[in-house]
Amino acid sequence: MGLFLWLSDLHLDPLYGTTYAASHQSGENCRLAGNETLLHYPLGRVGCDSPPSLLDSSLRSAAGNAKIYHTGINGSEENRYDRGDKSSIEFIVVTGDFSRHSMEKVRGRDPIAFAESVLSSCIGSIASAFPGVPIVPVLGNNDLVPDYYLDTTTTIATTDTDYNSTSGEVDDENYLPPNSNPMLVMVQNGFQESFLSDEEIQTFARGGYFSRVIETASDPPSSILILSLNTIIYSVKHEPHEPTLVPESDGEETGDDDDPLGQFDWIESQLEAAAANHSNISAVYMVGHIAPSIGSYRHSDLWQQRYIDRYFSILKAYTSRSSATTNADSHPPPILGNLYGHVHTEEFRLLTYQDEDDDDENNSSNSTPALVLPLHVAASLTPIYGANPSYRIVEFDNGSGTLLDYTTYYLDLDRFPVESPSEGDDSPSAKNVSWTKLPGFAETYGVPDLSADSLERILERLEGELQASIRAEEKAVELGREFAAHTKDSSRLWDIFLKRQMVYSSTPDDGDDENNGEIDTMIDWLCTLRAVSKESYTLCVEGKQSAVAAVTTTAPSGGVLLFLFAGMAIAISVVLVLVLFAGKQFRTRPKRRHYRRPSQGELPTDGVVVVPTITGAAAGDPPEVNAGTIGAIERELT
């Protein structure tokens, strides 16, 4: 059994609490006057990007929680992962967006140099917390300046020199291969401490992607191939929209709009090499920033459709080849991990892909099965969009590479801290802060691992709860009353899923479905979790809503009459109350009572404020409130 640390969307903001702090919406809370943000919210607050102290706190927590204990057969606790002085974490994956938002809007700084320094600071902090542990970084859209901008037609024609991304000049100190991309060289410089070979550096400088073979602590020895992907070039928001030029070995460049920066060919070559080296590589993990699916808020496509088709076709061909191999000793290593970030919330996808030829092949003995792809999406460290800051420790079988479970740790920003450090106290970054541990993903949903079969079981249970809610609404319609949503409790899987999605944050999300009813929300999510594209999502929603409408739109006449009689009774009651109130107002001269809004410190914890009217007290003396006083107040108010 092995462990790796999974971080995503750090969005480190060294300017947190200053005039140029990154923020969501108005952002005034991120830049309070007189350094108040740093004093009262040193570990960050909702609506702002991550201060350095938040990143440091998360890494200290992760290092301490890496040694996970379990209860043995005899009830004794045993440390499965204790490796002496070495970290129990075998490697670290960061699925993109190291840098704060709106990097290009910071005044008085070179945004390119600033971005590089933030990337370098993140990698340095991680390396310091986990010395000697391999780090696999992933390119995120906010790691580019401006956001999503990567000109794939621009290269640096150098042969024996290195391009200085800050000055824009050639530097003789280091070597970079010809046809490097200037923006990617900047990111490569920021990631420099994480790269382990010249090949990784050169591949990333050309395309923003690279591969890493991780040797696991297994017996017999085994390895996992990790492909760090550049998903920004496939995004619907990628700029500029120009034909891509792919560098050839002879230095010439050819246009290939279907394979930006040659990454698809590279993926195929990496999988081919893994298949040829199947005796040493047990599994393949694909890690990226933007998942090949749709977003969970606006439900818009995240990838351009032609790139989804090409990517899934590559994976489908590789998976089909693996399943068609009869000799177990020659099986290509399976793709067991698909890890992404970007959406800032804890989610997953179970995607099914069939290409255009599958319909014809379904009637053929040579047909290939559809691609079924389980994707896991990590919540963010930054709290800018409302989710609590979090990281996760992933358990995997270090022999087969199977992802077994992951445990999320989060910082509840409603609790930590909202106070100034006391005199003589340590700096906020050194405070001992408790990160809350959630039950493991597989444990929570009652599944054995993180595989496609497990995600299918989860979706079937969620679908079952949807059908139960539909039956309850149908029954309510028959009785002629409005459907009341199921009381939320810890036993319903939907309630657990929605709490975990925002990492147990009390901040309401600002998505576009916040006014949906319970059944609409369930349908929305079930279709999102299976959607390859917005089109497939829309068709799914329309189909499920039509099925619901078929059983809930017709109500018996008795129910309608009952509803009308109830409405008339309510209206008559309201009229009588108004008449009685008007008569009382006519007979009694109203008393004017002066209330003042209590300060925040005077608010009791239950939110109830009693403001008694007492005469005879000396000026400035606080009124004495006892049981008799409260009784007098109640009688006066009645």
pLDDT tens-digit map of 277-295: 888 899 999 999 999 999 9
| Mean pLDDT lowest among 7-11, 114-118, 241-245, 501-505 | 241-245
Inter-residue contact 92 to 5 (CB < 8 Å): yes
Higher pLDDT, 583 or 27: 27
Residue 384 has what pLDDT?
96
- Tell me the two tokens of residue 311: 């990517």
Inter-residue contact 210 to 200 (CB < 8 Å): yes
- Give the Cα separation of 372 and 57 in Å (integer): 38
Distances (CA, A) of 564 to 482, 490, 572: 13, 37, 13
H/E stretch holding 90:
strand 89-94
Strands (E), 421-578: 436-437
**Does 612 have pLDDT greater than 60?**
no
* φ, ψ dihedrals at 211, nearest 5°: -120, 155
- Tell me the two tokens of residue 115: 């971005």
- Tell me the two tokens of residue 305: 């459709």
Cβ burial of 388 (10 Å; 0-12, 13-18, 19+) is buried
- Tell me the two tokens of residue 307: 């790139």
| Block residue for tokens 């969307």 | 9
| Alpha helices (H) in 502-556, listed in sequence order | 518-528, 534-552
Q: What is the mean pLDDT of the segment spanning 591-612?
A: 33
DSSP 166: T
Residue 438, C-beta contacts closer than 8 angstroms, at least 6 positions apart: 407, 408, 409, 410, 444, 500, 503, 504
Distances (CA, A) of 205 to 163, 179, 358: 10, 9, 37
Inter-residue contact 581 to 573 (CB < 8 Å): no
CA 234 to chain centre: 19
- Give the Cα separation of 480 and 487 in Å (integer): 20
The Cα diameter of the chain in Å comes to: 100
Q: Are strands 253-255 and 245-247 parallel, antiparallel or unpaired?
A: antiparallel
- Give the Cα separation of 3 and 81 in Å (integer): 8
Inter-residue contact 120 to 113 (CB < 8 Å): no
Inter-residue contact 475 to 482 (CB < 8 Å): no
**Does 412 have pLDDT greater than 80?**
yes
Q: What is the mean pLDDT of the segment spanning 212-221?
A: 88
Buried b (16+ CB within 10 A) or exposed e, 140-154: bbbbbbebbebebee
Nearest C-alpha neighbor of 439 from the set 504, 529, 385, 349: 504
Nearest C-alpha neighbor of 141 from the set 344, 335, 388, 337: 344
| Mean pLDDT lowest among 146-150, 221-225, 432-436, 595-599 | 595-599
**Does 201 have pLDDT greater than 90?**
yes
Residue 484 has what pLDDT?
54
Neighbours of 424 (CB within 10 A): 5
Beta bridge partners of 294: 301
Residue 237, C-beta contacts closer than 8 angstroms, at least 6 positions apart: 141, 148
- Give the Cα separation of 435 and 55 in Å (integer): 12
CA 347 to chain centre: 7
- Give the Cα separation of 29 and 33 in Å (integer): 9
Local structure of 562: helix, strand or coil: helix
Q: What is the mean pLDDT of the segment spanning 521-535?
A: 96
- Tell me the two tokens of residue 315: 């994976």
| Mean pLDDT lowest among 29-43, 170-184, 250-264, 411-425 | 411-425
- Give the Cα separation of 140 and 344 in Å (integer): 12
- Tell me the two tokens of residue 471: 């039956």
Inter-residue contact 293 to 525 (CB < 8 Å): no
Q: Are strands 135-137 and 89-94 parallel, antiparallel or unpaired?
A: parallel
Nearest C-alpha neighbor of 86 from the set 58, 70, 66: 66
- Tell me the two tokens of residue 599: 């300060």
260 preceded by a cis bond (ω within 30 of 0): no
Residue 388 has what pLDDT?
97
* Side-chain half-sphere exposure of 552, counting CA atoms within 13 A: 18
* Side-chain half-sphere exposure of 593, counting CA atoms within 13 A: 10
Cβ burial of 634 (10 Å; 0-12, 13-18, 19+) is exposed
pLDDT band at 40 (very low <50, low <70, confident <90, very high): confident
Residue 71 has what pLDDT?
36
Neighbours of 577 (CB within 10 A): 10
CA 586 to chain centre: 61
pLDDT band at 25 (very low <50, low <70, confident <90, very high): confident
CA 94 to chain centre: 12
Nearest C-alpha neighbor of 407 from the set 61, 53, 32, 40: 61
Residue 278 has what pLDDT?
80
Q: What is the mean pLDDT of the segment spanning 201-230?
A: 94
pLDDT digit string (tens) for 486-508?
A: 544 557 999 999 999 999 998 87
Q: What is the mean pLDDT of the segment spanning 53-71?
A: 82
**Does 621 have pLDDT greater than 90?**
no
Cα-Cα-Cα-Cα torsion 13, 18, 24, 25, nearest 10 degrees, comes to -170
- Give the Cα separation of 406 and 396 in Å (integer): 9
Residue 367 has what pLDDT?
61
pTM, rounded to two decimals: 0.79
Residue 90 has what pLDDT?
95
**Does 399 have pLDDT greater than 80?**
yes
- Per the prediction, the chain carries an average pLDDT of 79
| Ranges 309-323, 324-338, 584-598, most confident | 309-323
Residue 246 has what pLDDT?
52
Angle at 324 between CA 340 and CA 234, to 5 degrees: 30
